[in-house]
Chains A and B, each alone.
Chain A
Amino acid sequence: MMNISKVALRSRVSRVKLTSQLAGLATTPDEKIEIPKRVPRGPTDILRALESTVGRDPTAAHYKYHDDPYLIPLSNNGKRVFALSQEAGRKAAHWIRREHADLFQHREADPTIEAFVPPMVFDEKSEVAVTDLQKLIKTAQVSDAVVVYKLLKEKGAEVAPELEQGLLELVCYQNCEDGLSDEFIEEKWFKQSQKGKEKLRKTWKDGDFAEQLFMNLPNKTPEAYCAIIQGMAKYYQVDRAVQLFEEAQQNNIPLNTNTYNSLISAVNIMKESFDLRWSLVAQFLNQMKDAKLKPNLGTLNAILAALSSMGNPVGARKYALMTLSQFRELGIEPSLGSWSLVLNTFYKDRGPVSTILHDIINLVENKEHQIRDLKDVHFFVTAMETCRFYLNDVSLAKRIDRLLHHGENYNLIGDSYKESVYYRHYFALLCANLPIEEFMNDVYYKLIPHIYVPEPALMAEVLNQVDVNGAIEYVPKLWSDLVIFDHAHRENLIEMVLNSMTNNEELLTPELNEKFATVGWDIFSRFDDQDSYKVSRMKVALSGDFLGKILLLLARNKEFEKACCVMEKLDRNQQSIAGVPKVEALDKFVDLCIEEKAPSRAIACIQYCVDCGYGEANAMAVRLHKKLTLDEVFLDKLTKIVGDISLAGAKDSV
C-alpha cells in the first residue's frame, strides 16, 4: 500500500516539474522522466493492501462472533463461552473424523489438501517409515514422533543423525508433551497463562524420552548438548543443565549462543543473592567471550530478565542501563520484550519513580513492531500498568494506546487475559483523570462493550466518578450496562447506583425522575421475583435501606402502585429484612398517599415508622390528619398508633 502511494506521489511530482517547465518554455534537454522501478509483488500483497484499509469497528462485535443480536456476546463470560463453544464444536468434528477415519478417505481436491485428511494414528502395530518421522517432526507432533521413533528402532531401521537431532530438539523444546494445536486458536487466546504462577518450579520430566534419547545417542554432537541443556534450563531443571554444561566445557564441546542465553535466564534459580547472581551472569558472558560467540537479542533479554527479578533495585537498574548501552554498541536493537523487562526493573513498589517509560515510548513510537522474542507480548500490558500505577499520566497512556493501534502492532497484545488487563489499566486511568463527559463520550461509549467489558471493580470506579461529579444522567445507562455485563447481583454496585440516584436531589429533572424510578423498580423486581432470584447468583436479599431508597425513587416519580408494593414488602417482612429505611423515604411515601387519598396505606406506613422507632411518625400523623378528612375508623387507628395527645394537639392546631 505504502509502495503504491509512493509511486503515485513520485510520478505526480515529476509531472508537476514537467508541466512547470513546459509553461516556462525552459526545457532542458537533459531532463528525463523518471520511470519508477518495478516493485515485486507477492501473491497476497493486494489482499494485504485491502486489509490495511479495514480497521477494528468498535460498534460491532469481533468478527469471530456471529452477527446476530442473539449470538453477539456482551459480557466477558459470554465472549469466552461463545468462542470456546464454537471451538468445542470444531473439536467434536475432529473427534468424529478421527474415530471414523475410514469414511473420510475420499479425495475431492487435486492435489490433496492435507488439512482435510484424517490424521494418521500410530500404535505398536503400525507400519512406519523414516519419512513419517520426518513429517511428524516437521509438524511438531511430539507423542506420535516418539512412538514412530521407537518403532523404527525396534525394526532396526536406520535413522539419520540429523533426524535424531531434530527429534531431540523437538522433545526438549516441548518437554515431551504435545503442545496446543495451531488449529484451535480460541483455546490459546482464552487460556489463562499459568506461567506466572509456576514460574520457578521445575517442570522438566526427569528420565523421560528426551534424556533417554540423549543418553543413547552414539556420538553426542555439540548440537545435541545445546538442545538438552536448553530444554532443561527452559523447564528449570537447572542442576542437570549446569552439570551437562560443565561436562561440555571439560570436553571442549562448543555450545551456541542460545544455550548460554537459556542458562542466563535460569540464573535466578541457581544462586540466591544479588551479587552471586550477577557474578554468575558475568561469568557466563565471559565464557561466551572466550568461546568467541556473538550475543544476540536473546542474550539481552535473558540478562534483563535475570536483572528484573533480582533484589537490589538500585544495582539492577545500573546494570540494566549498562547492558542496554553495551548492546547498542553491538548493534543489537532491543525488542519490545526487552523494554518491558526494563520497566519491570525500574518500576518496583519501593523507591523513587523513574521517568524511563517516556524515553522508551519516544524510542518505539510510530513504528510497526514485529514479534522478535516471546516476551514482546508483555510490553503493552506492562507499559499501561506502569502508566497507571506509577506515572498516572493520561497523555502517555494515549500515546501507548496509539502505538498499540499503529499498523499491526495489535498482534502483540498477547492473549485475552493480557488484553483485558491492558484495557482495565487504560480505562481506570482515563476514568480517574478525564472530565466525566469526555470520558463517557470518548472512552466509555467507544470501548464498551465490544472491545472491553469492565470488571465490577472498574464499574464501581465509574459509578464513583459519576457520583462525585454529579453526572447522574449517566446512571440509567450504567445500570442497564451492569445488567448486561452480569454484575447486577453485586451488592456494592447496587448500593452505589441507588446512592447516586437518591443523593443528588438538586440535579433532578422530571425525565431523570422517571428513569430513576424505572431503574429502582427494575432493581426491586429483580430481587422480588423468586425464579430469577434463584437463577441469578443473588446471594443477599435487599436490605431495608435499599428498599427505602427504591421507595423514595418511586415516590418521587409518584408511582403509587409500585411504591405500595415496596412498602408492603417492607411491612410484611419486617423480621427478615435487615436494617430499616431512611425516614425521608417513608415521609415521601406518606405525602404520596395523601396526594392519592389513600389513608389506609398512609396509616400502615405510620405504623411501620413507629415500629422502627422513628419519632417523625407523629408529624406524619398530624400531616395526614390535616390534609385529609379521616373517618372514625381511620382516626381510631391513628390514635392507637401515635397516641391521643399528639392527635389532640393536631386537632387544636387545625
Chain B
Amino acid sequence: MSLPQLKNILRAPTFYRLLSTSTACQKSQSGRYRITPRKDLPLTYEMANPPHQIAHRKTWNSINTSNLEGGLRSSETAIEDIFIRKFMTGTWHALFLSEIIIKRQHNIIRIAGIVRRSVSARKMYFLIGYTEELLSFWLQCPVKVELQTVADRRDVVFKYI
C-alpha cells in the first residue's frame, strides 16, 4: 500500500465523496434470477436462460442493425425501444406474459409477444389498432403488432426456482 493511500485511510473522516464514471457491469447479477426459498418463482424460457446464452439458447429482445458497424441511430433506437416497452406494458396492462420483442426491418417496427386471454378478442383488436396507430404516429414509421395468445399464464412457465 502506497503512502498517500495510507494517509487517506488514516485521515479523520471528512465530507468527501468518490465518483465512479465507468458503468457498473454487475455481470453476475443482471439478467439472472435468484432462487427463492420456496422454489416457487415462475420463469419463462427466456428468463430461465442467463444472458450468456443469448445467441445460443435464446435470442435478443431487440433485433436491429443499429449497433453493427455503420449502423445508424443506435442511441435513438435504444431510447425508442425503452419507450415502446413502457408503452406496451402500460397499454396492455398485465397482459404480456413474455418479454416484448422489437424487430426492426427497413423502416418497419414489429412488436411481438405473448399475451394472456384475459380480455375479450374484440378488446384485444381495439388495443392492437390503437397501439399500431399511436406508435406509428410517435415513431413516424409503420408499426405492426404480432401477438400470440395463451389461455393461462402457467402456459409460458418453463420452470420454477
Contact = CB atoms under 8 A, between A and B. Distances in A.
Interface of A: 66, 68-71, 73, 78, 81-83, 85-94, 96-97, 104, 106-109, 113, 116
Contacts of A94: 133
Nearest to B132: A90
Contacts of A70: 117, 121, 124, 149, 151
Contacts of A83: 125
Query: DSSP majority for the B interface?
Result: helix
Contacts of A92: 126, 129-130
A107 B141 CA distance: 11
Interface string B123-149: 111111111111011111100001111
Given A86-B126, A88-B129, A89-B128, 17 more contacts: A66-B125, A68-B147, A70-B149, A71-B124, A73-B121, A85-B122, A86-B129, A89-B131, A90-B130, A92-B130, A93-B130, A97-B137, A104-B137, A106-B140, A108-B139, A113-B140, A116-B137
Contacts of A86: 125-126, 128-129
Contacts of B148: 68
Contacts of A71: 121, 124-125, 147, 149
Nearest to A69: B149
A107 B138 CA distance: 10
B137 to A, nearest CB: 5
A146 to B, nearest CB: 27
A89 B133 contact: yes
A82 B131 contact: no
A88 B133 CA distance: 11
A113 to B, nearest CB: 6
Contact of B140 (A78, A85, A116): A116
A66 B147 contact: yes
Pick from A70, A82, A107 the residue with the most CB of B within 10 Å: A70
B149 A82 contact: no
A256 to B, nearest CB: 41
21 contacts: A66-B125, A66-B146, A70-B117, A70-B149, A71-B125, A71-B149, A78-B121, A86-B125, A89-B126, A89-B128, A90-B133, A92-B130, A93-B133, A93-B134, A93-B137, A96-B134, A104-B137, A108-B141, A113-B140, A116-B136, A116-B140
A71 B127 CA distance: 12
A66 B138 contact: no
A82 to B, nearest CB: 5
Interface in B88-145: 117, 121-134, 136-141
Contact of B122 (A69, A81, A109, A113): A81
A96 B117 CA distance: 26
**Lowest 6 CB-CB distances: which A-B pairs, in order?**
A89-B129, A93-B133, A89-B130, A86-B129, A108-B140, A93-B134
Interface size class of B (residues with CB under 8 A): 20 to 34
Interface in B28-68: none
A90 B125 contact: no
Contacts of B151: 70
Nearest to B130: A89
Contacts of B134: 93, 96-97
Nearest to B117: A70
Contacts of B123: 85
Contacts of B130: 89-90, 92-93
Pick from A86, A87, A91, A107 the residue with the most CB of B within 10 Å: A86
B121 A82 contact: yes
Contact of B125 (A85, A96, A104, A113): A85
Contacts of B122: 81-82, 85
A69 B150 CA distance: 9
A101 to B, nearest CB: 11
Pick from A97, A106, A116 the residue with the most CB of B within 10 Å: A116
B140 A89 contact: no
A113 B123 CA distance: 30
Nearest to B133: A93
A108 B123 CA distance: 30
Contacts of A78: 121
Contacts of B132: 89-90, 93
Nearest to B145: A66
Given A89-B131, A96-B134, A97-B134, A82 B140 contact: no
Nearest to A104: B137
A89 B125 contact: yes
B147 to A, nearest CB: 6
A89 B149 contact: no
A82 B117 CA distance: 15
A90 B129 contact: yes
B151 to A, nearest CB: 8
Contacts of B124: 66, 70-71
Contacts of A96: 134
Nearest to B149: A70
A108 B139 CA distance: 7
A86 B121 CA distance: 10
A93 B131 CA distance: 8
A85 B121 CA distance: 9
Contacts of A88: 126, 129
Contacts of B127: 89
Contacts of A69: 149
A116 B129 CA distance: 15
A78 B122 CA distance: 8
A69 B148 CA distance: 9
Contacts of B146: 66
Contacts of A81: 122
A85 B133 contact: no
Contacts of B117: 70
Nearest to B129: A89
Contacts of B128: 66, 86, 89
Pick from B121, B128, B132 the residue with the most CB of A within 10 Å: B121
A68 B122 CA distance: 13
A224 B131 CA distance: 45
B134 to A, nearest CB: 4
A68 B136 contact: no
A71 B140 CA distance: 27
A88 B134 CA distance: 12
Nearest to A70: B149
Pick from B125, B131, B140, B141 the residue with the most CB of A within 10 Å: B125
Pick from A69, A73, A93 the residue with the most CB of B within 10 Å: A93
Contacts of A107: 140
B69 to A, nearest CB: 23
Contacts of A108: 139-141
A356 B146 CA distance: 50
